[in-house]
Structure 1
């Protein structure tokens, strides 16, 4: 008998084949994946087909924003989830809106919802979310029992501490999987599939207890027969990955004989786990196992599905088309990892405006306010993963694109010492100058320095000497005792260690970053950063673009960004397009002499 498990992960609300920020149709989406699965089922009526999602489906796109505003009974995403999946796991971003919202959404879902390593304590989600499920399916050879379990990184307690602190506990992923998979086998599961919302890493920090990306460890657990993983928005099978423990077979899509898939992000791919099983006197035996990815760009969209969901699409368009302001120049993030960008700075300005109102009303002490931000969309997920707002009217959709996460605003107080460490972390994204001239580390989660961890402080003037080794890795873990920050000024005066500043930040940055966890929290807003940005855009903001950073040594360097960026180089900017590389990216020459 053949068993096929189709899987998605990190869909982030990319349901309909339409880019709501560019206003163009897309050739990838969850509807593409469903079209493929429906045709597959029709063509193979004797094959057992199951569908699963591995988390991060409820956050990230405008359908999610619509659902958050619409309220129970009017949400759109639950409709397609109910039409598509048998089982769903929970990702870290499912927690962004809080437990009560999550419970409200899950109340409208029919698929089995599972998570094995989160204890929801006394919250109603404890009854709604199962630690695992075993699906019983009849076959000509008798009943087969297919088990599913799911885990999420323990770091959710840091990333969403604002929503979760004191309301749940999270256990280590690997030990949970080991224990739960054995329990499922003892309960009669013939096959056990793990939904691991955790990436594939060889980094020792990830492979130790409570590491963030532990999936490689899961391949060594005896009672796991197949793995769907995610979180880092990458792909597997992937010939660029070389295991440090065990064996890898790219043709079969296995590591340590476990078929496994990581199908990217935004519905770009579907994962397919394939099993051939046989009933013997000892029970069901797996005779063959493999895994592969299905590229949805090569999938024909079923027009019946687009017709079915088009009314929902129109509701979202109507919601997003509301004009909320106007800008007199184009804002984009193509070069934001090196040069100032109004699309990045506007978030800092919005946070400062909110904070200064609290100072004026006496809620906060009168200290200097420092605005900062990082580009959320800076190419990590491909050449289209950038923010672009053309000059003219700004709609709600474009304002959402400036800050797509539902993080809460948290205002903290820090001293000059902490500020320098924060800047050292940003300085760590740069490569020590070498022969090829490239300036920035990779924008990847697995082995690089993602742009969303590179903060720019727009109210300071500072300089980095990148001939010294980086002090931090991308997760803000110290890796050297070196110093790159050699000058920091505020209002023309050098910053002293005991100087105090107020910083409008967000719950992700404060809880995630080691040197900020002990910062004094002055205010926790009930409004999200995104809502504060939207309100700021409605006010018709006027601010000057600031370039606070200098890089030493001066010279001519290179960086990679989208090929499309060449159309946005302004006259006089020290940027020159060199050549296209692959997958929509290009090399650019940067003159910092």
Structure 2
């Protein structure tokens, strides 16, 4: 299987104009000034509907492989029905996908890690998408998780072009002028649109895509020496004028990048706001942060030029349709011919959900399954289901993540124990042998995807779907060498998960910081410590130091206080070890074990080993309770978790976790945390 690092040929037909296309696919074609359409009446209007999917993460059917049951809150099979409806309602429409497509569900893992793709075999993602006639797709950061060879083998059967304007081939020199794009930076397509009077016009639509430059950290093992990434806005300023010169009447930016209004900085991960300031961009269809735009959650951005009623950013139409196919993004544009060119004169952005929830929190699908998508992927779906349900070991106590954000937790413990076990083996007999080993783990499923997004594994047989449930990312294990001061700062960053608790406030105070991703709440096993939530957070969710607060207290190794100079090995994953999450002092130069093995496979191997070691009786993954909160008296602290009988029953094991009768508007149960009680 040959690696195709620059798949431009599919873009070089009569329907696509791109300056990088030529007979050799290497030398840029001569740029020609394209004359504007003649004879269009001033004031002519065209209504164009832009449709977007993003962050599907290989969720093709309305199915939860972890729970092995139907789930009408996810799936392209539902979004597809909305796409067809939206097209039927519009005279002119365009459909884009914004990446994070081939990774994220067990089906994605099965295709990449078990079945693989033979040359010419169509990935089920593209078997489904090819039924929907996408116009273009953008590369997301998770597209690189399985390596460039698999990525190129997957996308070469897409019946639509791929773009990414800020990723280039690595050529080993410092001369930016000769850098070659890894993918086509943009594509310009000729579309025949009807105006409001029924007359047909040829409109040149340009699409340009972007990916977070942090891919070079997050997927260093797959990209180092093969690719480089550049600043999103810088590349927009480079290419958008070229697109205009090549005749683009309408330019749609497709950044796999979220919306932040903080001060502009180079190589920003979430740069969609500053793309709205790039002259020539007419619409922004963004993603990456698994959020909904327009929505009330962005009302606080009004003073920065964000209009959540119309769905605009600095006047530019924009949309971000959630994740896992739960919404279709829609931008309705009005193009008007004025002063010799087509201009956007009005817009309205909206989100179409695949399900609704009533006052009793009962979910109802808004559409039936799309028959074409379902038919295209049903075989791969069944193969995936068979694979993930095959048992390979046993556990002797339940594993869940219901209280992973407020309590030492078995779903993290089993991961950190596995990483410690692996590290002990791999450093034995080396110069690292004998150094204390710590292990970092975070709750990947702790409500980020909704009130049902929790791990829950019963006693007994364990299958691969359970391991994928525990560790949802295809990360690779890495080991860092750190001193005690750096270990403490790691934990201080992690403690940003909590809001500061005011001991003088008698009102209810929520504990969990909603802006802090749960996958950045690292627990470090191998040491013991407490978290004092009455202190201010030392770091914010972006890793910026915001106070001199000292939340981590009583940090000890084997009963002795950890000193600033003490040396440790810390097992983690490639994302964190390469700077993911912006943890202080955690950088790739501190990696001392560059393991080739996936964390998830390490967990599976550990469970197998411990289960067989115990005469087949199984592994006990109970948490060792190595961390807790420092006592706090006379306050009311609340947090949320799953609204299930299992969660409430599990809470009975802990005197400090108390169910309440309250349920919030998102369907989460509200619990009280009593920090005067032993933990």
Is the TM value for this pair above 0.5?
yes
Change in Cα spacing, 1:175 to 1:94, as seen in structure 2 (3 Å) is same
Per-residue deviation, 1:258? 1.4
In the alignment, is residue 146 of structure 1 matched against residue 205 of structure 2? yes
Change in Cα spacing, 1:413 to 1:281, as seen in structure 2 (3 Å) is closer
In the alignment, is residue 520 of structure 1 matched against residue 590 of structure 2? yes
Query: Which position in structure 2 is the counterpart of 1:576?
Result: 658
Query: Which position in structure 2 is the counterpart of 1:214?
Result: 271
Per-residue deviation, 1:286? 3.0
In the alignment, is residue 535 of structure 1 matched against residue 617 of structure 2? no
SS of structure 1 residue aligned to 2:472: coil
Per-residue deviation, 1:302? 2.9
How far, CA to CA, are the matches of 1:224 and 1:477 in structure 2?
A: 31
Does structure 2 retain, via aligned residues, the 8 Å contact 1:202–1:244? Answer: no
Query: Which position in structure 2 is the counterpart of 1:105?
Result: 154
SS of structure 1 residue aligned to 2:477: strand
SS of structure 2 residue aligned to 1:566: helix
In the alignment, is residue 274 of structure 1 matched against residue 342 of structure 2? no
Query: Which position in structure 1 is the counterpart of 2:673?
Result: 590
Query: Which position in structure 1 is the counterpart of 2:125?
Result: 77
Change in Cα spacing, 1:462 to 1:248, as seen in structure 2 (3 Å) is closer
Change in Cα spacing, 1:221 to 1:520, as seen in structure 2 (3 Å) is closer
Per-residue deviation, 1:288? 2.8
SS of structure 2 residue aligned to 1:433: coil
Change in Cα spacing, 1:572 to 1:351, as seen in structure 2 (3 Å) is closer
Residue correspondence of structure 1 range 405-416 to structure 2 within 5 A? 405-416=473-484
SS of structure 2 residue aligned to 1:376: coil
In the alignment, is residue 132 of structure 1 matched against residue 189 of structure 2? no
Per-residue deviation, 1:546? 1.0
Given the alignment, which residue of 576, 579, 584 partners 1:509? 576
Residue correspondence of structure 1 range 390-429 to structure 2 within 5 A? 390-429=458-497
Change in Cα spacing, 1:304 to 1:147, as seen in structure 2 (3 Å) is closer
Does structure 2 retain, via aligned residues, the 8 Å contact 1:399–1:537? Answer: no
Query: Which position in structure 2 is the counterpart of 1:117?
Result: 166
How far, CA to CA, are the matches of 2:232 and 2:401 in structure 1?
A: 35
Moved more, 518-527 or 583-592: 518-527
Per-residue deviation, 1:292? 0.6
Per-residue deviation, 1:138? 2.5
How far, CA to CA, are the matches of 1:514 and 1:167 in structure 2?
A: 27
Per-residue deviation, 1:278? 4.2
How far, CA to CA, are the matches of 1:272 and 1:410 in structure 2?
A: 41
How far, CA to CA, are the matches of 2:562 and 2:390 in structure 1?
A: 43
**Taking structure 2 as the reference length, what is the TM-score of the superposition?**
0.82
Residue correspondence of structure 1 range 182-197 to structure 2 within 5 A? 182-197=241-256
Query: Which position in structure 1 is the counterpart of 2:232?
Result: 173
How far, CA to CA, are the matches of 1:168 and 1:34 in structure 2?
A: 33
How far, CA to CA, are the matches of 1:544 and 1:381 in structure 2?
A: 25
Query: Which position in structure 1 is the counterpart of 2:562?
Result: 495
Bigger Rg, which one = 2
Per-residue deviation, 1:269? 0.3
Q: CA RMSD in A?
A: 2.2
In the alignment, is residue 5 of structure 1 matched against residue 50 of structure 2? yes
In the alignment, is residue 293 of structure 1 matched against residue 351 of structure 2? yes
Query: Which position in structure 1 is the counterpart of 2:99?
Result: 55
In the alignment, is residue 25 of structure 1 matched against residue 70 of structure 2? yes
SS of structure 2 residue aligned to 1:438: strand
Change in Cα spacing, 1:554 to 1:368, as seen in structure 2 (3 Å) is same
How far, CA to CA, are the matches of 2:532 and 2:454 in structure 1?
A: 28
Change in Cα spacing, 1:144 to 1:573, as seen in structure 2 (3 Å) is same
Per-residue deviation, 1:127? 7.0
How far, CA to CA, are the matches of 1:557 and 1:246 in structure 2?
A: 33
Does structure 2 retain, via aligned residues, the 8 Å contact 1:409–1:507? Answer: yes
Query: Which position in structure 2 is the counterpart of 1:563?
Result: 643
Does structure 2 retain, via aligned residues, the 8 Å contact 1:193–1:225? Answer: yes
Given the alignment, which residue of 232, 239, 258 partners 2:289? 232
Q: Deviations over 1:238-265 (max 9, x none)?
A: 1231336653433322222211111011
Does structure 1 retain, via aligned residues, the 8 Å contact 2:577–2:591? Answer: no
Does structure 2 retain, via aligned residues, the 8 Å contact 1:259–1:290? Answer: yes
How far, CA to CA, are the matches of 2:552 and 2:374 in structure 1?
A: 53
Per-residue deviation, 1:338? 1.2
Does structure 2 retain, via aligned residues, the 8 Å contact 1:12–1:57? Answer: yes
How far, CA to CA, are the matches of 1:110 and 1:66 in structure 2?
A: 23
Structure 1 alignment gaps of length 5 or more: none
How far, CA to CA, are the matches of 1:428 and 1:452 in structure 2?
A: 12
Change in Cα spacing, 1:249 to 1:430, as seen in structure 2 (3 Å) is closer
How far, CA to CA, are the matches of 2:254 and 2:373 in structure 1?
A: 27
SS of structure 1 residue aligned to 2:380: helix
Per-residue deviation, 1:83? 2.6
Query: Which position in structure 1 is the counterpart of 2:84?
Result: 38
Does structure 1 retain, via aligned residues, the 8 Å contact 2:128–2:372? Answer: no
How far, CA to CA, are the matches of 1:82 and 1:208 in structure 2?
A: 38
Residue correspondence of structure 1 range 254-403 to structure 2 within 5 A? 254-279=312-337, 282-297=340-355, 298-362=366-430, 364-403=432-471
In the alignment, is residue 482 of structure 1 matched against residue 482 of structure 2? no
SS of structure 2 residue aligned to 1:462: strand
How far, CA to CA, are the matches of 1:114 and 1:238 in structure 2?
A: 28
How far, CA to CA, are the matches of 1:468 and 1:42 in structure 2?
A: 56
Q: Deviations over 1:319-367 (max 9, x none)?
A: 2121121122221111101111111111111111111112335474221
SS of structure 2 residue aligned to 1:183: helix
How far, CA to CA, are the matches of 1:196 and 1:186 in structure 2?
A: 21
Does structure 1 retain, via aligned residues, the 8 Å contact 2:169–2:182? Answer: no
How far, CA to CA, are the matches of 1:96 and 1:460 in structure 2?
A: 31
How far, CA to CA, are the matches of 2:405 and 2:50 in structure 1?
A: 39
Work out the number of aligned pairs and report it. 584
How far, CA to CA, are the matches of 2:658 and 2:554 in structure 1?
A: 29
How far, CA to CA, are the matches of 1:485 and 1:316 in structure 2?
A: 43
Per-residue deviation, 1:280? 6.0
Given the alignment, which residue of 530, 535, 540 partners 1:463? 530
Residue correspondence of structure 1 range 537-556 to structure 2 within 5 A? 537-539=607-609, 540=611, 541-555=619-633
How far, CA to CA, are the matches of 1:126 and 1:576 in structure 2?
A: 58
Given the alignment, which residue of 499, 519, 524 partners 1:431? 499
Change in Cα spacing, 1:487 to 1:170, as seen in structure 2 (3 Å) is same
Structure 2 alignment gaps of length 5 or more: 1-45, 173-178, 194-198, 356-365, 612-618
Moved more, 369-378 or 186-195: 369-378
SS of structure 2 residue aligned to 1:147: strand
Moved more, 352-361 or 362-371: 362-371
How far, CA to CA, are the matches of 1:258 and 1:466 in structure 2?
A: 41
Moved more, 414-423 or 297-306: 297-306
Does structure 2 retain, via aligned residues, the 8 Å contact 1:253–1:261? Answer: yes
